A = this chain, B = another copy of it.
Amino acid sequence: MGLRRVLEPAGVLPQAAWRLDASPEIAADEVRIAVQRLNLDAASFRQLAEKHGGDGAKVRAEVAEIIETRGKMHNPVTGSGGMLIGVVEAVGSESPLGLKSGDRVATLVSLTLTPLKITDGLAKWDGRSEQIPTEGTAILFGRSVVGVLPDDLEPELALAVYDVCGAPALTDRVVREYDGSVTVAVLGGAGKSGSLSLAAARLAGARTVAVVRDENEAATVRGLADAIAIADARDPVAVAEAVGTPVTITVVCVDVPGCEHGAILATEAGGTVIFFSMATSFPAAALGAEGLAADVTMIIGNGYLPGHAEFAVDLVRRVPAVRQLFESRVAGH
């Protein structure tokens, strides 16, 4: 679990630590990765970009400062991280991960718990996109989760898919837990996790509603959802009106705060809300449902399910609209 990498406070797991030891020497159960590219969590990148008014140089300086100070890319405001890709450089004699030097891999655990050392000062990044081409080292623990990169997808594309691969797998599971006709609304359906969740819900047999911000986003999801509703996800009444008849399951994939109440209002009694946005407020969700007397099950989106990476990559292969959305998002940066 990487306990030996925790510098402060003592006794917590690496994710909860303020500071990790990111030194490149590995223990017997560790693996060292030569880092090639980081993918910042969307909520984290948005917070940094807004804080610095879109000034890429300042965003870059702050990301470098966070990594240097904390020994990991763990945004202290949003609490979120991201993922990385790279090449296996050294494998400890007792590592259970089954990797060998030279494997091209993506980490499937958050950067918030991955010891990370950058050696190029992020010089190849302009601070204006979530993906950071860079150099340095990262450490995997015995209990880490890692995916070997697929041959048929560009590494940038695979990284973007892996970053959100928990969402479609969990959406699929929850849809299959309900009997009969299931309707799924996805707030932020035009985003990465949102489009994958829409595709997963439809393939699991649900009728799908994409809730998007404007006509531009609506054009992006055409063909991906059975219905499209335009609303500001932070406006609970607008969301409920746009969705219409309450749905069985609502999936929240909008990376801005304040989307809890619209999701709850849009969901029928006995239904489920799955929160995938790292901008979700625990008290706002808990007290919002209580205040609305809403008998809905609210799930914290877990970034890990067995087979989640393969499941998401398979969706990208099978659903051209999803692949197109990811390709344009990756190219757009």
**Which residues of A approach B to under 8 Å, CB–CB?**
1, 3, 11-16, 78-81, 108-110, 112-113, 143-145, 166, 234-238, 258, 260-261, 275, 278, 280-306
Minimum distance in angstroms from A299 CB to a CB of chain B: 6
A166 proximity list for chain B (CB < 8 A)? 290
Minimum distance in angstroms from A52 CB to a CB of chain B: 21
Residues A297 and B292 in contact, CB atoms below 8 Å apart: no
A6 and B145 CA atoms in complex are apart in Å by 46
Residues A289 and B261 in contact, CB atoms below 8 Å apart: no
A13 and B236 CA atoms in complex are apart in Å by 7
Residues B293 and A304 in contact, CB atoms below 8 Å apart: yes
Residues B275 and A282 in contact, CB atoms below 8 Å apart: yes
Known: A13-B292, A16-B258, A113-B287. 16 other contacts (CB 8 A): A13-B236, A14-B291, A16-B261, A16-B288, A108-B290, A110-B287, A144-B293, A278-B286, A282-B282, A289-B304, A290-B303, A293-B304, A295-B305, A297-B299, A298-B299, A298-B300
Residues A300 and B285 in contact, CB atoms below 8 Å apart: yes
A181 and B156 CA atoms in complex are apart in Å by 45
Residues A296 and B287 in contact, CB atoms below 8 Å apart: no
Residues B302 and A300 in contact, CB atoms below 8 Å apart: no
A293 and B285 CA atoms in complex are apart in Å by 25
Q: A16-B261, A237-B11 are in contact. Are A294 and B302 (CB under 8 A)?
A: yes
A291 and B300 CA atoms in complex are apart in Å by 14
Most chain B CB within a 10 A radius of its CB, from A113, A285, A292, A294: A292
Contacts A/B (CB < 8 Å), 19 sampled: A12-B258, A13-B236, A14-B291, A15-B284, A15-B287, A15-B291, A78-B283, A80-B287, A110-B290, A110-B291, A112-B283, A112-B287, A112-B291, A145-B293, A282-B282, A282-B300, A286-B303, A296-B302, A298-B302
Contact for A261 among B13, B112, B237, B293, CB less than 8 A: B13
Residues A303 and B282 in contact, CB atoms below 8 Å apart: no
Minimum distance in angstroms from A80 CB to a CB of chain B: 6
A285 proximity list for chain B (CB < 8 A)? 282, 300
Pairs of residues from A and B, 4 with the lowest C-beta to C-beta distance, nearest first = A290-B303, A79-B283, A298-B300, A113-B291
A309 and B253 CA atoms in complex are apart in Å by 33
A78 and B283 CA atoms in complex are apart in Å by 8
Q: A12-B258, A13-B236, A283-B79 are in contact. Are A295 and B304 (CB under 8 A)?
A: yes
